[in-house]
A and B are shown apart, each in its own frame.
Chain A
Amino acid sequence: MLAEVRNESQWVPDRQVTLEAKDLTIDFAKAKSSIFGPRSYLRALNSLNFKMYGHHCLAVVGESGCGKSTSARIATKIHKATSGSISYKGRNIDDIVSSQELRDYRRDVQMVFQDPFGSLNPLHTIRYHLERPLKIYFNITNRSEMEDRLEAILTQVGLTPAKDVLEKFPHQLSGGQRQRVFLGKTLAIGAHVILADEPTSMLDVSIRIGVLNLMNQMKQDMGKSFMYITHDIATARYIAEDTMVLYCGHMVEWGNTEEITQNPQHPYTQLLLAAVPDPSRSIHDKLPTHRSLETPMWSPESKGCPYAARCPQAQAACTEFLPETKEIAPEHFIRCHLFV
């Protein structure tokens, strides 16, 4: 299955851009220290540029607070970008305002969350969760057509026998099964773009891989476009063709996943990847040197490379200017003054 995914010729021809971010930047107002003091801002994302494609998965990795979830929240119109934009199939999502268009957009772009329990209503059966979107978005009223669709969806997400599963309540299913139901719901809704925010971090190992395989299958066989937000870079390597590494709201290194994970070049990516647990490593293996400082809070006034304060290789330019993007190998991009 993986080998097929990695076979470029299979997906490149219909490589259709779904979501595209251009210079995406967002500031959040910080609590004021006094009523009369000036408002100050936290720059949670600074100038993100990425594309997502059909039949394709983009992994977003980086430490806690680096802005991973915020990028997905802007895409689902929960937050509005301060500057820059996200477009969907070429159209700026800020221009999507009429109720019909909004409805279509919300159908097409769906989020999947960490906690599968929180995202399913405990008072309703699985049938209710899946029937509703089929009625609303596809106007299915015919009983037998509905049953066929429900069965097809549950089979696609690996929950069989469908008849039994349909009558269950969320608490009667395991975490992995609930996450499958939720992915099934995105199918019932007819979403094309699925933004999965740590969808497996609460699942047990033995179950987690099944959900990842399901996502892989939805991507490959049904052409869904995935964003996979995760702390777990080994699983990102497993399902994502592309990866972007965020540090403090900035893309520091991105491109082909295999290239990024096996040949990291940015000092931060090198540190991050060296710290990932791996059976071939030992706890004695030293991390690349870095200064153990807390991650800086970026503000609209901040300048330079966000990693400069921790980077052992920082040069004079690093504290002055944000590095330009440079393609250091095919499909391998970096923002670092060491590569200009």
Chain B
Amino acid sequence: MSALIEVKDLCVDYITLNGRVRAVNNVSFTIGEGEILGLAGESGCGKSTIAYALMRLHRPPALISGGQILFEGKNVLDFDDETLRQFRWKDTSMVFQSAMSCLNPVKTIEYQFYDIFKAHNMITNRQESIERAKELLRIVDIPEGRLFDYPHQFSGGMRQRVVIAMALALKPKLLIMDEPTTALDVVIQREILQKVYELKQQFNFSVLFITHDLSLMVEFCDRIGIMYSGQLVEVSDSKAILQQPLHPYTFGLGNAFPTLTGELKVMVGIPGTPLDLSNVPSGCRFAGRCFKASDQCHRVEPALIPQAERGQVACHQPLPLPALFAESDTLLNDCNDRLQESRDVG
């Protein structure tokens, strides 16, 4: 699978009254053609900041302060205005959580499709626009007869599907989805994601998928990147993330997620709270909450490096394969003890 997009050492800062805050710090990853990459991590770890930066849709006070974003080998950060405009619609498009509220309430769906096509010289006349729009609605399972309806005549799930149809209007190569279904019920959520998956199989676009629901992420993605405090701490195959985590933080996340099936067991979560980005300690950013932290961890920052036959991890003491930690229960107990000691300090 060749890389469609390659992000190298990306840094994004927010300029605040109290100085610069680095929300994304030296993040590198690739997304292959037709691949679905997930980004997971606690609120505020920088997922949306990355999503916006990839399309250069970030707005002040955000500032890309370093790195490269290579799209088919060309650096997006060097694009002039016209190239950028083309790139934003034709090559990539984005669906976000509140996307359904981005539909213009006083224009019909048909008109909004027409607007998109016209802006990109995709059509020569209105009739052609209507035909194309109908085809797109059909793709997301909305009866074409609803084309001339206004947004408020659709349910939330249907509106989100309309937005996805619009995102696909110009056949993008990369689709960025930032919590696209968070506000929806699980049945609609699954229907929409199944649809996106089918379309991806058909048109072979790549997807960057962001959600706080790790179970959903494991189901939908090929690979998953785990972020902590503005950094990527692990990238692994999605099935391995929960079964054979490399990073202690990933392990902690996996033990904070009750599942619908399988054995019922006590979960422990992760002690402590996320870092304040304006006051980042030296060494590993997770050290203060980590049950494996050693002296070295508090001093030296670990780099993201590949592990033999497994993913990449930024940790001085990556976890062994579960078969190797004699009893993963011992690890849990360890974790539990630490939790008792350091129970949420105020």
Identify the A interface with B (CB < 8 A): 1-2, 6, 63-64, 158-161, 164-165, 168, 173-174, 176-177, 180, 204-210, 212-213, 231, 233-235, 237-238, 258, 261-262, 271-284, 287, 290, 292, 294
Contacts and interface: CB of A to CB of B under 8 A. Distances in A.
Interface residues of B, number: 45
B219 A282 contact: yes
Given A177-B344, A204-B42, A237 B220 contact: no
A207 B269 contact: yes
Given A206-B253, A235-B258, A278 B219 contact: yes
A277 B219 contact: yes
A174 B270 CA distance: 14
Task: From A208, A274, A279, name the one whose CB has the most chain B CB atoms within 10 angstroms.
Answer: A279
B267 interface: yes
B176 to A, nearest CB: 18
Given A174-B274, A207-B273, A279-B219, 20 more contacts: A2-B266, A160-B343, A205-B253, A209-B268, A213-B266, A213-B267, A234-B260, A235-B258, A258-B264, A272-B187, A273-B260, A275-B186, A275-B189, A276-B260, A277-B189, A279-B259, A280-B259, A280-B261, A284-B197, A292-B191
A58 B43 CA distance: 29
Contacts of A275: 186-187, 189-190
B60 interface: no
Contacts of B218: 279
A258 B264 CA distance: 10
B73 interface: no
Contact of A287 (B191, B212, B265, B269): B191
Given A2-B265, A231-B186, A283-B220, A208 B256 contact: yes
B270 A206 contact: yes
Interface of B: 42-43, 141, 155, 185-187, 189-191, 193-194, 197, 212-216, 218-220, 242, 252-253, 255-262, 264-270, 273-274, 343-346
B344 A164 contact: no
Contacts of A282: 219
Interface of B is mostly: loop
A292 B215 contact: no
B191 A279 contact: no
Task: From B262, B265, B267, name the one whose CB has the most chain A CB atoms within 10 angstroms.
Answer: B267
B128 to A, nearest CB: 29
Contact of B141 (A164, A207, A292): A292
Contacts of A273: 260
A51 B43 CA distance: 37
25 contacts: A2-B266, A6-B264, A63-B185, A159-B346, A160-B345, A174-B273, A204-B43, A205-B214, A205-B256, A208-B269, A209-B255, A210-B344, A213-B267, A231-B185, A238-B264, A272-B186, A275-B186, A277-B189, A277-B190, A277-B213, A277-B215, A278-B219, A283-B190, A287-B187, A292-B191
Task: From A177, A274, A280, name the one whose CB has the most chain B CB atoms within 10 angstroms.
Answer: A280
Contacts of B43: 204
A92 to B, nearest CB: 34
Given A173-B346, A277-B213, A209 B256 contact: yes
B261 A206 contact: no
A231 B258 CA distance: 14
Nearest to B255: A209
A309 to B, nearest CB: 14
A173 B344 CA distance: 10
B120 to A, nearest CB: 30
B187 A278 contact: no
A206 B186 CA distance: 21
Given A205-B253, A234-B260, A283 B185 contact: no
List 10 A-B pairs, minimum CB-CB distance, nearest first: A165-B346, A277-B216, A238-B258, A209-B269, A277-B215, A206-B270, A275-B186, A63-B185, A275-B187, A275-B190
Given A177-B344, A205-B214, A271-B187, A2 B219 contact: no
A300 B155 CA distance: 23
A168 B215 contact: no
